[in-house]
Amino acid sequence: MADKGTPRGRAARATGDQALGVLLAVYRFTPTIGFEALREVSQRTNTELRVITRNVIDWALGAPLPEVVGRELDSAVERAWRAAEEYRID
């Protein structure tokens, strides 16, 4: 794992932040919910988080998401919205 203080660690952190920003902009998530969605996709696809974040950034730039990543991201988004509805106060 890259140390946050090294150039590689800072680059990994920047990539994660960019992917998180994509989810915040597209789905209007909070940072916590966006990170949880990325983490879920990573775990459910058995793919390293750094690969998932790169996929999301590439998607924002016009590339298609790998099918399994897209499917799991859709599921994570749906779960996040359902959970938010449960806690919503009108």
pLDDT above 90 covers a percentage of the chain that reads: 63
48 close to 42: Cβ distance less than 8 angstroms: yes
> Across all residues in the chain, what is the average pLDDT?
87
pLDDT of residue 4: 61
Q: What mean pLDDT is predicted for residues 57-81?
A: 95
- The Cα–Cα gap between 45 and 21 comes to 21
Checking if the pLDDT of 53 tops 60, the result is yes
What band does 73 get if pLDDT is binned at 50, 70 and 90? Answer: very high
Checking if the pLDDT of 29 tops 90, the result is no
User: How many residues in total does the chain contain?
Assistant: 90
